[in-house]
Structure 1
Amino acid sequence: MSELQRSSSSGPAGTSSLGATVEPTRLMGHLREFARRVKLSGTPEELESFRYLQRQMEQFGYRTQLIFHDAYISLPIRSRVLIDGHELKSITHSMSVPTPQDGLTADLVYVGEGDEAAITRQDVRGRIVLVDGIATEDVAAFASRAGALGQIHISPNEHLYEMCVSPVWGNPSQHTRAHLPSTAICTISRDDGAILRERCLNGETVRASLRTEVDTGWRKTPLLVADLEAPTGDPDSPFVLLSGHHDTWHYGVMDNGGANATMLEAARLLAERRADWRRGLRICFWSGHSHGRYSGSAWYADEYWDDLDRRCVAHVNVDSTGGEGATILTNSGVIDELKGVAADAVKAVTGQIHAGRRQGRAADQSFWGVGIPSMFGSLSHQPPGPVKMLTALGWWWHTPHDLFEHIDPDNLARDTKIILWVLDRLLKERVLPLDYTAYADALLAELAPLDDELADILPIDGLKRAAETLRRHAAALTAMASTASDRDAERINQTLMQVARALVPINYTTGERFHHDSAMPHPAWLALEGLRELARQDARSTDLPFYVVHARQTRNRVAHALRQANEAIEVQLLDHARGA
């Protein structure tokens, strides 16, 4: 455990009593309201529910703004899958290509779980791929690229899971539009799929007909922003961002009604203790999460980039709280420098030891490019099940069965207390609990094998030294923070924000701060990928010099970010030593 984690593990004064004030009846009351409507992005029913959120936030004392913006939204309507003239139960998906009225017919080709190698090793051009597992953006991209006409996904069970299959994060631009799926995509049940799989594996030619109807295009969608400043009343002061989506598949009582109820209750209780805040709270409810591949949060990150860059200290995302049977609190995603905060919160509320996991490319995490440290998304999970590729959020997730009956009031209150615990710390602690010694350790672990593999091709010992310097500097900054005056604490916080702007993009993006990376699964420390690509090459390959060019540029980008971070901390340490 780092010095920063030890010094703050007890949390700010009053955190325990704050959790004790959570009212399960209020939480369930909000859920009853959310359970009244199907909230497809950009529909009147969704807007009506947004109005409820706005009224609640205004009652709690927040200044609200309901923004309407253009979003590229895709709403599945109906599908038909015919095999030998027999129709199978099916659904189509958000961002699937709609077929002509008469549909399309082609031979099936089974591609296992649909990884790129499985799809490219067969000729799928003009055919329909049969895939094990729920529909995903990566399979859609691979199948489209390989020239497939369609996809039929085999559900891991009898339920058909609604999905958005766009590999484009947020709204497509003229540059990313071509990456949208070019195939018609459906899902069928496990039992129906098993029969088709067996026929394909037996070498039988199976003809399938697909018909998909999908309403895709630009439309206005709502986005609710609720602000409450710190007691200073400075409208330009730093703030913590709390966010979650409001649009749903079907009634979506857990996903994302549970999280919305958590957000409202957290907003109410935190506002009552605003006198203790050292920074403001901004709460955003997104549309376009389910039907626009995070179009709301991505648009907001772009439109308000400068404000977020200057003022946002951290982002806490909330998704699918309160599910029945969700007893696992050890595996929520969190960025390295906030792992201690997550672990402390989970232990304080539940007694569980939070192992944590690297955040995935999901959950409206649209702010890594800006350089904002983030945590969570889904918070509580189901125990591991026997069926591969079944969601950790419950079998009802993304189905018409996501109803009130699958909410556990005690779990909802528990999850809300964890979110409260985290926000209370982020709002009240004199020095932001961002641990860049943990970041440095994680980066050094990534660089260690590369240092050996690249020693004779493109040395990266300079990166290792810079990361080791970061660790020393971060530890010194933490030690300084423990005795800092209020004035010094404010300076340290500004330094930590500068460090975050330099380092978060290196950890979670290609390093590009102004364009969103794709929604495809990404390797850890994506900005290092150019170095990894070089390390994977045969040293005798004639292509090696080409990889060296890109790897050298990659090294420079990471070195520059580390220099920015180290220089920011050095200035602060030097000023402190001089008594400035």
Structure 2
Amino acid sequence: MISSAEQAILDAVNLDTPWELIERFTTLKREDPEDVKQAASLIAERLERHGVPVDIHCPELFLSIPRQASVTIDGVALFAKAMAMSAVFPDGITAPLVYQPSGYALDADELFSRQAPADEIDVRGKIVVSEGFGMPGKVSDLERRGALGIIAINPGKRAHWGVCTTIWGSPDLYDLPRKPGVAVVNVNAEDGQRLIEWARGGGEATLKTDLNEGWFESPVPVVTIPGTEEPEKFVLLHGHYDSWDYGIGDNAVGDATLLEIARVLWANKDKLRRSVKIAWWPGHSTGRYAGSTWYSDAFGLELDENCIAQINCDSPGCRWATEYQDVSLMPETERFAAELIRDVTGKELRAERPHQAGDYSFNNIGLSGYFMLLSTMPDELRAEKDYYAVGGCGGNIAWHTEDDLLEIADRDILLKDIRIYLLAAMRTANSTVIPFDFTLTLDDFRVTVERYQAAAGDHFSFEPLRAEIARLRSAVGQLGAQAASLKDQPLTSPGARAVNDAQICLARQLVRVNFTREAAFFHDPAESIPPLPDLAVAEDLPHASPERIGFYRTHLMRGQNRVMAALREAHTAVERALTVPVPS
């Protein structure tokens, strides 16, 4: 239930400032680095106009900006869109065209997943045409199989822009070998069918890709609204301000949301107990989340020590987006997020595991996170309009196309979504105990391990891990009971600090083993990551040949060790908190 103090702040929200920014962005494309700089200045000017101080960081990010692309068959050049991070072939490559049957994603989960074709054909030395989007999993798979170029057939009348690398953010030396070495473009459905027929007839194609690739200075505006009790601890609310073309639904509406929340929270900063940082990222579209990744790198230690949660704001307030389904969130945040949405809208939340996408650049630090895309159109309406799955714009297929214009934004829905994000930031910052329930995470772990055990059969036992999960869950349950007695305590009280330290440790340990394979402060590839990823190979055991079973057991032993060590570290923190006296 929304308190009277919360309602007074929510009532301060209006659309004057955010809608004016959205209208200004209808005249400014935000993919070229110089245009992105101008967009950052426009955001900063509006913040300063409302008396909100803003820091502008200016890192150099590795970006890939598509310029031109084409596919030529039988002397006819077909329009195409080069995918960011595609290899550059301005003079073109000519090779036999081959059709690799694939399919189209049914939802956003499939869209961001690696979808292996049912039948792999020989693509060595050929240009491949295949249904879908030029997503990183497909691209890396076809490159591994020897393709020279990839033409992804998008399902509609428009070809979509996107980015094709598995590298998350600006590459480091570990990442560089995964930089795509193939040309990758998207074409629309009509031209795609023409290319399939040409491939079936044994024809050749010439594929041209021209991109501007390199290191570009890219402003990162960050507002810090200081808390009154524990200002060093903070919530990070963030979204990207670069876009494809004018990008109103993805993500001018998000930028406007962040702007209005900064205005309202700054005017009510005396009512914040912890700090709120609000950040706008460049390099999302042309650098695979390069802006948020840079921030995660440059401020990694501060985030590790002091950030209590990250909240991602992407594509709120789009037309027809009246439902809150397939909302990305980590399991510990689900009950809290569901209450937020219910309090503001009266709607029920339908949650999903976060994709390895959408500026979730903080998993390797171990930050609890919730929201990415928020409101979306009902499934029935999407079916009625015959819309295919996309990754933003509230389900509107204008996503990542020239059609993502002002008509995609909806004033009433935007106002409602701004209030959800504002309440989210306020409640997270103001809760005496960080408001996440890690028994939900551990229940999720238990179900996942049961599934992996069923697949592994007698080949491997997860019994030690199951016992460790149960032991930690019991301790976290006791921690929750202790937290309930701290509601009216100051954040600086010994009891509150002890419980919150334990909550932060739970996040750092459990998020890492549930969402990452790489070491802390590095970044996993931009491909779907299953729950408890170091153990997920258990599901392959039923199909493993006898001579490979030992390798699977070795892998699972190491993976189980990693997870158990994290659980024990978290358990130690929880037990430490339970020894601190609390008010009776």
**TM-score normalized with structure 1 length:** 0.92
Question: Within 2, Cα distance between the matches of 1:161 and 1:293?
Answer: 16
Aligned to 1:429: 431
Amino acid at match of 2:553: V
Question: Within 2, Cα distance between the matches of 1:325 and 1:116?
Answer: 29
Amino acid at match of 1:471: R
Distance change in 2, residues 1:26/1:62 (3 Å): closer
| SS of equivalent residue, structure 2 residue 350 | coil
| SS of equivalent residue, structure 1 residue 361 | coil
Deviation at 1:408, TM superposition (A): 0.8
Question: Within 2, Cα distance between the matches of 1:345 and 1:335?
Answer: 15
Deviation at 1:553, TM superposition (A): 0.8
Question: Within 2, Cα distance between the matches of 1:500 and 1:61?
Answer: 34
Question: Within 1, Cα distance between the matches of 2:211 and 2:219?
Answer: 21
Q: Does 1:71 align with 2:70?
A: no
Deviation at 1:215, TM superposition (A): 1.0
Alignment of 1:401-550 (within 5 A): 401-454=403-456, 456-484=458-486, 485-486=489-490, 487=493, 488-510=495-517, 512-533=519-540, 535-536=541-542, 538=544, 541-550=546-555
Contiguous gaps of at least 5 residues in structure 2: 104-113
Amino acid at match of 1:111: Q
Amino acid at match of 1:86: V
Aligned to 2:109: none
Distance change in 2, residues 1:564/1:11 (3 Å): farther
| SS of equivalent residue, structure 1 residue 543 | helix
Aligned to 1:219: 216
Aligned to 2:13: 22
Kept in 1: contact 2:94–2:204 (CA 8 A): yes
Aligned to 1:91: 81
Deviation at 1:515, TM superposition (A): 1.2
Deviation at 1:498, TM superposition (A): 1.3
CA deviations 1:36-63 (Å, max 9, x no partner) are 21112522x2212211222333455544
| SS of equivalent residue, structure 1 residue 147 | coil
**Matching residue within 227, 232, 242 for 1:230:** 227
Alignment of 1:189-338 (within 5 A): 189-200=188-199, 203-232=200-229, 237-338=232-333
Question: Within 2, Cα distance between the matches of 1:116 and 1:56?
Answer: 43
Kept in 1: contact 2:456–2:542 (CA 8 A): no
| SS of equivalent residue, structure 1 residue 518 | coil
Deviation at 1:116, TM superposition (A): 6.4
Deviation at 1:113, TM superposition (A): 2.2
| SS of equivalent residue, structure 1 residue 456 | helix
CA deviations 1:361-416 (Å, max 9, x no partner) are 11100001101000111111133333544455312111111111221101111111
Amino acid at match of 2:459: I
**TM-score normalized with structure 2 length:** 0.92
Kept in 1: contact 2:60–2:218 (CA 8 A): yes
Kept in 2: contact 1:329–1:354 (CA 8 A): yes
User: Which stretch of structure 1 is more off in the superposition, 505-514 or 116-125?
Assistant: 116-125
Kept in 2: contact 1:66–1:224 (CA 8 A): yes
**Matching residue within 355, 364, 373 for 1:378:** 373
| SS of equivalent residue, structure 2 residue 313 | strand
Question: Within 1, Cα distance between the matches of 2:378 and 2:401?
Answer: 20
C-alpha RMSD of the superposition: 2.1
CA deviations 1:428-478 (Å, max 9, x no partner) are 111111100101110000011333454633322121111112222222111
CA deviations 1:67-110 (Å, max 9, x no partner) are 11121100000112111111222221211111142x11122211
Amino acid at match of 1:30: L
Aligned to 1:108: 97
Aligned to 2:578: 573
Aligned to 1:123: 122
| SS of equivalent residue, structure 1 residue 243 | strand
CA deviations 1:175-213 (Å, max 9, x no partner) are 21121111111222211212332454xx42122111111
Aligned to 2:110: none
Alignment of 1:384-395 (within 5 A): 384=379, 385=382, 386-391=386-391, 393-395=395-397
Question: Within 2, Cα distance between the matches of 1:347 and 1:58?
Answer: 34
CA deviations 1:188-242 (Å, max 9, x no partner) are 2211212332454xx421221111111111222111121121124x66x100001
| SS of equivalent residue, structure 1 residue 160 | coil
Question: Within 2, Cα distance between the matches of 1:119 and 1:290?
Answer: 30
Amino acid at match of 1:520: E
Question: Within 2, Cα distance between the matches of 1:55 and 1:61?
Answer: 10
Question: Within 2, Cα distance between the matches of 1:469 and 1:56?
Answer: 51
| SS of equivalent residue, structure 1 residue 319 | coil
Aligned to 2:147: 148
Question: Within 2, Cα distance between the matches of 1:99 and 1:312?
Answer: 43
| SS of equivalent residue, structure 1 residue 238 | strand
Question: Within 2, Cα distance between the matches of 1:506 and 1:117?
Answer: 25
Question: Within 1, Cα distance between the matches of 2:32 and 2:227?
Answer: 32
CA deviations 1:526-573 (Å, max 9, x no partner) are 23225445x4454x7122222222211101000000001111111111
**Matching residue within 326, 341, 349 for 2:336:** 341
Distance change in 2, residues 1:98/1:294 (3 Å): same
Amino acid at match of 2:427: R
Distance change in 2, residues 1:503/1:13 (3 Å): farther
Question: Within 1, Cα distance between the matches of 2:551 and 2:567?
Answer: 25
Aligned to 1:355: 350
Question: Within 1, Cα distance between the matches of 2:119 and 2:126?
Answer: 13
User: Which stretch of structure 1 is more off in the superposition, 182-191 or 123-132?
Assistant: 182-191
Question: Within 1, Cα distance between the matches of 2:522 and 2:243?
Answer: 26
**Matching residue within 557, 562, 576 for 2:562:** 557
Question: Within 1, Cα distance between the matches of 2:314 and 2:23?
Answer: 17
Question: Within 1, Cα distance between the matches of 2:362 and 2:237?
Answer: 12
Question: Within 2, Cα distance between the matches of 1:123 and 1:520?
Answer: 24
